[in-house]
Amino acid sequence: MSPQIEEFNDGQSRALGGVDRRFAIKALAGASLPWIGAESASGFMANEVIRIACIGTGGRSRHLMERVLQFADAQIVAVCDVRDDNREAAAKMVNDAKRGSVDQEVDFRKLLERSDIDAVLIASPDHWHVPMTIAACVAGKDVYVEKPLTHSIAEGQSVIDAEANSGRIVQVGTQQRSMPHLIEARDIVRSGQLGEIHKIHMTWNRNQPRWDRGKDSFDPKTVRWDLFLGNAPEQEFDEYRMKAWRWFWDFGGGILTDLMVHWMDTAVWMMDLKAPTSARSLGNHYQAAGLWETPDTIQTLVDFAEDNVQAHFEGTFVNHNRRAHLMLMGSQANLICDRGGYEVVPERGSKVEARNRIDGANPLRGLDFYDDVDGAKYHLRNWLDCCRTRNRPSCTAADGVRSALPAHLGNLAYRENKVAVPTG
């Protein structure tokens, strides 16, 4: 075991979500890392298979794994999860695909010691994203990590530094950046034909009883609750909190970090927005009272004062109207996007041409009800290509930090019932 990993394990420290503070400082300072080969920052040969370990293998991970298994130049060689059922389901998926053998681990740190693993796919709960990404970068692994990249504003700089100092490829899983129709829509925005844009409207509405507790379904002996907690406060095992981690502050950030981040990232990317200057939020528990800590319905207004832009987001789990979409409201035209297409709607008296692009299928009731394009497949392909070429991926760590900040400010505004502003 390397000195750095020994130090990582020392005292089972949970600072920075399980990354020992001394380990993090040493890593980010660019310390010598003996288990990383001299060729670690170079690309892969065209015929070379990229060997991937999947960390956190719940439903989202298996959705991504299904797509990775379609790429001939990538191989999943190991899966890791603190829940036996998740880990075994992921291993079965790989074995059923007959794409080679797969190892199982409970502790992700053991995977980082292996020289036969080139990259990791991280789909853990949010509070583990930054610690796992930093540790993987230090260990010389390229990283695909689910959004939101950060669980708090304070984590941002450390993961940006880890990416920069290690020379690793980090792709954050805001896959809308890789959807062809949204890349084209971005070109429209950059052309200036929408005119001056001062308002952004975003929705993510679902009519789903995600708060239903149901019956406990697994034996606590089949999970490593201590490893699940990471940097979270000590607490008794609770299956519901483990399964519904997105809706508890210790592990996730609710609707804003889980859903708003997707459209916020798209808007930031399309418009090259600077940092937000303030946020205000109004939220409540209309159906999830007594179950969730995060609200089941929320509205957030984010001010990008340097860009003269206001961004409004609304999200709920008690109504499906307008589903999920982004609208950039320009003085000459509006750009309405969802995951299946886009539409340009001219303002009254404008000479801008009305047009659209629909890549999704099964129209139901308006543009924002088209089926999603398989953005994850495009985004994973971009990541693997960048692992080979060492080119910049669609969404770097710095991009991920930038797009998560408005959501963190919105949550701070909600929790403290105040106008939240960035500090530091």
Please state, as a whole number, how many other Cβ atoms lie within 10 Å of the Cβ of residue 26.
Answer: 18
d(CA 176, CA 134): 24
Strands 197-205 and 309-316: parallel
| pLDDT tens by residue, 103-115 | 999 999 999 999 9
Tell me the average pLDDT across 276-280. 98
Looking at residue 321, what is its pLDDT?
A: 84
Looking at residue 8, what is its pLDDT?
A: 36
Q: Report the chain's terminal Cα–Cα distance, integer Å.
A: 37
Looking at residue 208, what is its pLDDT?
A: 84
| pLDDT tens by residue, 236-271 | 999 999 999 999 999 999 999 999 999 999 999 999
d(CA 261, CA 247): 15
Looking at residue 198, what is its pLDDT?
A: 98
pTM > 0.85: yes or no: yes
pLDDT of residue 38 exceeding 60: no
Please tell me whether residue 340 adopts helix, strand or coil conformation. coil
Residue 53: closest CA among 33, 79, 84: 79
Looking at residue 13, what is its pLDDT?
A: 39
Largest CA distance in the chain: 69
Give the 3-state DSSP-derived string for 138-191, with helices as H, strands as E and coil as C. Answer: HCCCEEEECCCCCCCHHHHHHHHHHHHHHCCCEEECCHHHHCHHHHHHHHHHHH
Confidence at 99, pLDDT banded by 50, 70, 90: confident
Tokens of 35: 């288990």
Q: What is the CA radius of gyration of the chain?
A: 21
Confidence at 423, pLDDT banded by 50, 70, 90: confident
Q: Are 125 and 148 in contact (CB under 8 A)?
A: no
Q: How much is the mean pLDDT over the chain?
A: 89
Q: Are 242 and 228 in contact (CB under 8 A)?
A: yes
- Helices then strands, each counted (H, E), the chain: 14, 14
- To the nearest 10°, report the CA torsion of 77, 81, 87, 91: -10
